[in-house]
Every structure is written in C-alpha cells, then in structure tokens.
Amino acid sequence: ETGVTQTPRHLVMGMTNKKSLKCEQHLGHNAMYWYKQSAKKPLELMFVYSLEERVENNSVPSRFSPECPNSSHLFLHLHTLQPEDSALYLCASSPGSTVSTNEKLFFGSGTQLSVL
Amino acid sequence: AQSVTQLGSHVSVSEGALVLLRCNYSSSVPPYLFWYVQYPNQGLQLLLKYTTGATLVKGINGFEAEFKKSETSFHLTKPSAHMSDAAEYFCAVSDPDSSASKIIFGSGTRLSIRP
C-alpha cells in the first residue's frame, strides 16, 4: 500500500464515451502526476500538478483533460479517445511543492484502460 | 537531452543466481539515477536512487546499484535471486537542475525467476 489510490482499476470505453479516472493520495504530498504506460514503451509523463497548479503539460492531446481540485485529489477526464490510447494510466505523488527531480515518486496501482 | 537505455527487455535467472539488470544513460550533466520496481497489477515502487556521494547505492530487498560515470552506467544487481523478485524493473534518469517533468524512464526489463 503506497498511500496512492486509483479508481477504477479497469475501464473499458467506446470512442464516443466520456469517463474520468480518479486518484487520491493520503500522504500529505504537494505534487501529483499522471503517467501513461504502454506495452514495451517507457513511461510517458502527461501532467504535473504542484499545489493544485498545473506545472507541466507534456504535449498531451486535448481529449485528455486533467483536474486537480485540491492537493489530495487528481482526475483525468477522458472524451472521444482513440484505440491507441489504451494503456495503463498511473498516478503518482511526491512530497515537495517545488517539483524536484530528487524526490521519490509514490505510485498508485493504475487504471487499465481499453478503448474499443 | 537525457536518455536511458535498458539492455534486454526480458531477463531470466534461476532462483539463487545473481541478478544483473543493465542501465546506461546519456546526460550532459551529472544526473540523478533511480531504479523502480513494478510488481504485477501494482504501481512502481522506488528501489534505490543515486544523487551524490557514494557511488554504490543499497536499496530495498537486497538490491544495489553502482554509478559508474566513466561507463555512463547504473546497473542493478542482487547476489541471490528470490522468486518474489519476479517483476518489471525501470531505470530512470533526471537532471538535478530541472523539474520533475524531466525524469526520463527506460522501457523496463521484465525479470523472471526459474525455480
């Protein structure tokens, strides 16, 4: 148990659906992240939030829309996805408010997304 | 630009044998280096990290890694493999002067343990 909880664990959606992924951390951390993990590929950083402010958007298509209402919760809203968006989506958090590359990342177990 | 290469997408060793997972990096500045492990159906967990100081870093579960600047390597080792070590292992590199958005992960190496 890492203290980062993601729901749902699995999600199947059609290309016209709208769904949301949820991440909650119980660690008192100030930074939260969305990563995409595709088979045989390196982890891709999608978004970074520090103190509820988006500090990084890594050229992610607009069909992915993040939301960070407070420092404990992070959402990823999905709409009109493509089959190539099927992947494991991982949420992570880290302690600092200034996002440092020295910090340990705490990952959730991920949401396995399948787009039909 | 930084990059990390993990040699071998799949490594298989016998229980009790030496585990060696290879990681080479490219960086224009002295980097921070990490190894993360991902067990089935779980997120990544930090095994160990190198920032400064001693180049041999010890992590959890008996793993260690050595930063070799001359070889631009940060290979992960464990003297004796256990069945519970079966997982996917990710090497990562970052620039100390940059933000967390610049943490670059490798493609991962899947470690299998034979009884």
- The pLDDT tens digits for A49-90 are 988 888 777 789 999 999 999 989 999 999 999 999 999 999
- What are the C-alpha distances in Å from B24 to residues A3, B21, B69, B72, B81? 31, 10, 10, 6, 22
Q: Does any CB of chain B come closer than 8 Å to the CB of residue A113? A: no
Instruction: Tell me how far the alpha carbon of residue A15 is from its chain's centroid.
Output: 19
Q: What is the pLDDT of residue A92?
A: 93
Task: Answer yes or no: is pLDDT of B56 > 80.
Answer: yes
Q: pLDDT grade, residue A91 (50/70/90)? A: very high
Across A3-14, average pLDDT = 94
CB contact under 8 A, A101 and B102: yes
Q: Chain B contact for A55, CB < 8 A? A: yes
Contact with chain A for residue B96, Cβ under 8 A: yes
Closest Cβ opposite residue B105 in set A31, A42, A104: A42
